[in-house]
A and B are shown apart, each in its own frame.
Chain A
Amino acid sequence: MSLILVESVEKKYEDKVVLNKINLEINQGEIFGLLGPSGAGKTTMIRLLTGQISATAGKITVFDKEVGKLNGTEKKQFGIMMDQFGLYERLSCYDNLKLFADIYGIKKEQIIQTLRAVGLEKAVKTPAMNLSKGMRHRLQLARVFMTNPKILFLDEPTSGLDPATSEEIHRLLLHKKEMGYLIFLTTHNMGEAEKLCDHIALLNEGKIVEYGQPQEICRKYNHQKKIRIRLKNGEELEYENSRDSAAKIEQLFQEQSIETIHSTEPNLETVFMERTGRRFE
C-alpha cells in the first residue's frame, strides 16, 4: 500500500532549483533511502514531505491526501527526526519525552519503556546537555518512536556517530520496519543504505539519477561481470564470469588455495560516480 506518492515535484528558492521533477512512490513497511551528497536537496525533500514547506510545482500525497491538506491528527502520525532539531538541554531525558507524551496523550509508563528500548534507561534523569552525541541521537529517536507514528522521517540518523552506536540505531530501525513502519531516511552513507533500505533514490543537484533496490542498482551497473579471487598467498586473480573460467576456479577450490571470492559488481558509491561524475562528500 502506497503511503507516500510524489509526482513531478519541484522546489525553487527564487531562481535556484533545489529539487527538479521528483517522482517517488513509497509503501508501508518499507525503508526508503534518499541518498546524495551534502546540498543535494535531501533535507528539503523531508521538509516538503512533512509539510514544513510547500512545493513550487507538482503534487505530494501522503495517506491518500495532499500533504498541505493533512489535518492535525494525520500529521501526528509523522515521526520526524532532523539533524537540526534540538532537545531541551536543561531538561532530563524523561522530561524531554514527558512534554511530547503530554501533547500526544501518551501514558507515563511508555516514556520509560521507550527510553529502555533505545538503551537510555540509565540516563532517565540525565539532562540532555550532559549526553554524548550518540545518546542525543537515541533520545531524538525515542522522541520519534514514543508517539508510534506510521511514517518515520529521519534526516541523517547516524551522521557523525561511532560504528557501535550506528549499528544500534540500525537494529532499532530494522525492528521498526518489522513492525510495519514506513521509514524515509536520508543519508550519505552508502553502506547504511545498502544494509537498511528496500528502495533507494540517488539524488544529485536536485535530480534523481537512479532509483530502485540497492542490489538491483549495483547489478545493473556491473559492467565488468568478473569474479575476483584472493588466494591464501596474497595473490589476486580476476576471471570472466563465464563457463570458460569454471574449470580454473574449480581447480583453485580443489587446491584449497582460495581465501576470498567476490563478484566485481560496483557499490552504490561507484554507481553514483558513474552517473554523476562526482564523489559522495
Chain B
Amino acid sequence: MNNMKAIFCKQAKDTMKNKAVLIQFLMFPVISIIMNQTIKVDNLPEGYFIRMFAVMYIGMAPIIAMSSIIAEEREKNTLRVLLMSNVKPGEYLLGTGTYVWIMCMLGAICMGIVGGYRGTDLMNFLILMAVGFIISILLGASIGGFCKNQMVANSMMVPAMLILAFVPMMATFNTTIEKYGQILYSQQIQLFISHINDGKMEMKNYVITGINMVIVLITFVVAYRKNGLDE
C-alpha cells in the first residue's frame, strides 16, 4: 500500500510536467464543455457534445496515458530501479492505474455536471465512465507491457484509440459502421449513456461489454506473463 501511494504521488507530480499526458486528461472535458456551452443548434439533443466526447475520452485518454507512462518508464529504465527497490509489478500498475483513473474521473465529473446529469443520472453516467476507463486502462497497460519504448507504444496505441474513439462517433452517421461497431465496448458505453434516462438497454449490451472486458483482461495477463513488467 505504501509503495502504491508513493507511485501514485510520483505520478501526480510527474504528470503536471508531462504535457503529452496532461493534455489527454484536460482536452476532452474542456472541448466538450466549451462546445456544449457555445454551440446551440435547433433539434440538437441536450448534452449531445458531452455524450460524444465522453466516449472519445474513454477511448483515448486512459490508453494514451497508461501506455505512455509504462513505455517511458521501460525505455528509461526507471521501472527497473523501482522493481529493484522491491516495488511489486502489481503495486506499480495499481498505483499508476489508480492515478490515471482518478484523473479521468475528475474530467468525467465535470462533463457529467455540465452535460446536465443530476442525481441518479449523474451517478449512472459516472459508473459507465468508470467502467469504460477501467477497460481502457487495462488496454493501455497491455500496450505498455508489449512495448519496449514510447515509439513502439505510439504505433500500437494510435490504431487502438482511433477505432475505440471514432467508431462510436461515426456510427451515429453510418448504419454499417454502427452494425460492426457494436462489438466495441466504447460503442456500447455510448449506447448506455444515450439511454441513461430511459434505461432501455438489452442483455446483449451488457454481454458485449463484459466480453470486451474479459478479452482486455486476457490481453493484459498475456502481456505481463510473456514479457513481465520489465523484460
Binding site for B on A (CB under 8 A): 50, 52, 72-73, 75-76, 78, 80, 82, 84-91, 95, 98-100, 102-105, 127, 143, 147
Q: How close is B139's CB to chain A, nearest CB, in angstroms?
A: 25
Does B204 count as interface, using CB distance less than 8 angstroms? no
Interface contact A103-B85, CB-CB below 8 Å: yes
Bound-complex Cα distance A91 to B10 (A): 9
B76 cross-chain contacts in A, Cβ below 8 A: 86-87, 89
7 closest A-B pairs (Cβ-Cβ)? A86-B76, A102-B6, A90-B17, A72-B86, A86-B77, A99-B10, A86-B78
Q: Which of A75, A85, A88, A100 contacts B80 (CB 8 A)?
A: A85
Binding site for A on B (CB under 8 A): 2-3, 5-7, 9-10, 13-14, 17-18, 76-78, 80-82, 84-87
Interface contact A78-B84, CB-CB below 8 Å: yes
B87 cross-chain contacts in A, Cβ below 8 A: 103
Chain A residue nearest in CB terms to B7? A99
Contact of A95 with B13 at beta-carbon distance under 8 Å, contacts A50-B84, A52-B84, A102-B2 already known? yes
Bound-complex Cα distance A127 to B14 (A): 11
Bound-complex Cα distance A75 to B82 (A): 12
Which residue of A78, A88, A89 has the most chain B CB atoms within 10 A of its CB atom? A88
Interface contact A100-B85, CB-CB below 8 Å: yes
Chain A residue nearest in CB terms to B230? A52
Q: How close is B21's CB to chain A, nearest CB, in angstroms?
A: 10
A78 cross-chain contacts in B, Cβ below 8 A: 84
Interface contact B81-A86, CB-CB below 8 Å: yes
B81 cross-chain contacts in A, Cβ below 8 A: 80, 85-86, 143
Bound-complex Cα distance A87 to B77 (A): 8
Interface contact A76-B10, CB-CB below 8 Å: no
Which residue of A91, A95, A99, A102 has the most chain B CB atoms within 10 A of its CB atom? A99
Interface contact B14-A91, CB-CB below 8 Å: yes
Q: How close is B197's CB to chain A, nearest CB, in angstroms?
A: 43
Interface contact B17-A99, CB-CB below 8 Å: no
Interface contact B86-A76, CB-CB below 8 Å: yes
Interface contact A103-B2, CB-CB below 8 Å: yes
Q: Which of A76, A88, A98, A127 contacts B85 (CB 8 A)?
A: A76
Which residue of B7, B10, B76, B87 has the most chain A CB atoms within 10 A of its CB atom? B10
Contact of A103 with B18 at beta-carbon distance under 8 Å, contacts A80-B84, A84-B77, A91-B13 already known? no
Contact of A103 with B77 at beta-carbon distance under 8 Å, contacts A75-B86, A76-B86, A90-B14 already known? no
Chain A residue nearest in CB terms to B76? A86
Q: How close is B60's CB to chain A, nearest CB, in angstroms?
A: 22
Interface contact A103-B84, CB-CB below 8 Å: no
